[in-house]
């Protein structure tokens, strides 16, 4: 058995090579992420595999698990260490090789495997590693599961069992491509496929071609150094390059995929980025006409327009706002039997008949293309301009240590609650409601709002603002309200990007 993990080991020491290094903060709300070598070593990854296999056995689920890995220089080694631990725990391991996360989720259905462990750090910078896990397709772990897994791993409660078996599943990517390319597009469309040199570059362009569109590849060659920018279609750097490509090629749309292919970002035919919550609203309008009285789930970072949109009201649609995070939205979408769930970060969840309930960037891309197919004569920019007007910021993330970020957010929540109770105003507007389902979303009397929450997967806070008045007002909500409020706290550092 492995020794009890520690959090204070240093590389190039005897202890580092003989004891698992596992920093407790790597167990996050709905997946696990660490900086490799500084916060976890390969023995720590092995301990994670043993703990995961033990947990699966503990909850009575068949210990048959799909594993895959993304295209980082160290991900294969991490996956192999994870597999060793899973085998120790007596699991039947189905290794699908290099893959995007939704390929691993699909494999749970295709290979009759209840469990999944996908080695990926998604869009995090190089140096990060992590694992997305689940034991009930299409759901992934949430706080309860992650809490028990953390207890097992850090407490060295993993139990070795006989019966471990490894199967290498050959060419599973072909089955995945057959699955996701069933969507067909009859309208001639020129599409930029932007992959940021991440794993999706091996699969997304081919899937889009099979749907019947002309594909212009942008940064689709796999390069784990990410030479231009991290593959994150929510970041300005990638969106700017997507816009440039649309204009250069006269494309109808640019579709951007993150490092592990479970998110999709969109730039329209005019080279304007459309944040995923607005794309979700466009899709909800389109789909609710085909499926009257449908329910949609959106995260608290998303535009308030869902609650007031006249088209959704006319189609009998219902919208539920819920906690940010792919595991939360996925679970709530399944729980409510919603047609779809949308997250501002670019996770889209479609239940049957559109999808299988998990987040897949290619399936989301297909939904956007089929929406265009059902609206002949209209460009994506036309559909965007038909939406009610609101000015929403990009997602901004100031640094805040994992050990401190939740305490900072709790303090901000209390401060806003007290401020509202005292009749405080923000830029001359009364506070209508303080929503605390996930951090704090402060809704103002004119429909504008500001949000502060803790990131679930990085040592950061998350800030989003939306104005019902103007772009200048949206900037002022950040510049004159949220930024100075957070700046009063020494724990809050530099932002990754600002409006």
**Residues tagged active-site:** 122
Q: Which residues contact 472 (CB under 8 A, 6 or more apart)?
A: none
3-class SS shares of the chain: helix, strand, coil, % to 5: 35, 25, 40
Rounded alpha-carbon distances, angstroms, from residue 297 to 329, 336, 352: 7, 9, 15
Give the relative orientation of helices 276-290 and 361-373 as an angle to the nearest 10 degrees.
60
**Tokens 């085909």 belong to residue:** 290
How far, in whole angstroms, is CA 489 from its chain's centroid? 28
Question: Which value, to the nearest 10 degrees, does the dihedral of the CA atoms of residues 66, 67, 68, 73 take?
Answer: 180
Give the relative orientation of helices 172-180 and 101-110 as an angle to the nearest 10 degrees.
90
Question: Which value, to the nearest 10 degrees, does the dihedral of the CA atoms of residues 413, 414, 419, 423 take?
Answer: 100
User: How many helices, marked H, and strands, marked E, lie in the chain?
Assistant: 15, 21
Q: Which residues contact 418 (CB under 8 A, 6 or more apart)?
A: none
Nearest 5°: the CA angle 359, 363, 368 is 115
């Amino acid at each position: 058995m492995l020794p009890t993990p520690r959090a204070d080991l240093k590389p190039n020491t005897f202890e580092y090579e003989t004891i698992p290094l596992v920093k407790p903060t790597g167990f996050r709300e709905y997946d696990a992420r660490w900086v490799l070598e500084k916060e976890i070593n390969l023995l720590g990854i092995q301990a994670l595999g043993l703990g995961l296999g033990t947990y699966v056995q503990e909850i009575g689920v068949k210990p048959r698990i799909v594993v895959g890995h993304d295209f980082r220089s160290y991900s294969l080694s991490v996956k192999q260490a994870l597999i060793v631990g899973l085998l120790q725990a007596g699991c039947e391991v189905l290794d699908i090789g290099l893959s995007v996360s939704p390929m691993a989720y699909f494999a749970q259905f295709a290979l009759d495997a209840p469990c999944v462990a996908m080695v990926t750090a998604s869009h995090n910078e190089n140096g990060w590693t992590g694992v997305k896990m689940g034991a009930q397709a299409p759901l992934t772990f949430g706080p309860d599961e992650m809490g028990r897994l953390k207890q097992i791993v850090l407490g060295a409660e993993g139990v070795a069992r006989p019966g471990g078996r490894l199967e290498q599943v050959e060419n599973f990517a072909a089955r995945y491509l057959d699955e996701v390319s069933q969507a067909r597009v009859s309208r001639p469309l020129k599409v930029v496929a932007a992959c940021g040199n991440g794993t999706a570059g091996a699969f997304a362009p081919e899937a889009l071609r099979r749907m019947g569109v002309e594909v212009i590849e942008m940064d689709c060659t796999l390069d784990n150094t990410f030479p231009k920018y991290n593959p994150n279609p929510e970041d300005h750097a990638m969106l700017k390059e997507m816009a440039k490509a649309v204009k250069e090629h006269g494309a109808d749309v640019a579709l951007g995929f993150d490092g592990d292919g479970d998110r999709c970002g969109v730039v329209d035919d005019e080279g304007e980025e459309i944040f995923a919550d607005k794309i979700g609203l466009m899709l909800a309008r389109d789909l609710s006409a085909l499926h009257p009285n449908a329910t949609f789930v959106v995260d608290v970072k998303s535009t308030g327009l869902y609650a007031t949109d006249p088209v959704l009201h006319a189609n009998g649609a219902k919208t539920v706002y819920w906690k940010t995070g792919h595991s939360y939205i996925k679970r709530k979408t399944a729980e409510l039997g919603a047609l779809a769930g949308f997250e501002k970060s670019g996770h889209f969840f479609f239940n049957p008949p559109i999808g299988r309930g998990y987040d897949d960037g290619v399936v989301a891309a297909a939904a956007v293309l089929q929406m265009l197919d059902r609206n002949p004569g209209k460009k994506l920019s036309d559909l965007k301009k038909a939406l009610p007007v609101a000015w929403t910021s990009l997602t901004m993330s100031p640094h805040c240590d994992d050990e401190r970020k939740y305490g900072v957010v709790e303090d901000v929540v209390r401060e806003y609650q007290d401020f509202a109770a005292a009749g405080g105003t923000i830029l001359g507007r009364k506070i209508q409601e303080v929503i605390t389902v996930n951090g704090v979303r402060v809704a103002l009397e004119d429909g504008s709002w500001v949000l502060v929450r803790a990131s679930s997967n990085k040592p950061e806070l998350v800030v989003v603002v939306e104005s019902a008045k103007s772009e200048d007002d949206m900037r002022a909500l950040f510049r004159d309200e949220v930024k100075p409020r957070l700046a009063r706290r020494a724990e809050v550092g530099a932002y990754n990007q600002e409006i």
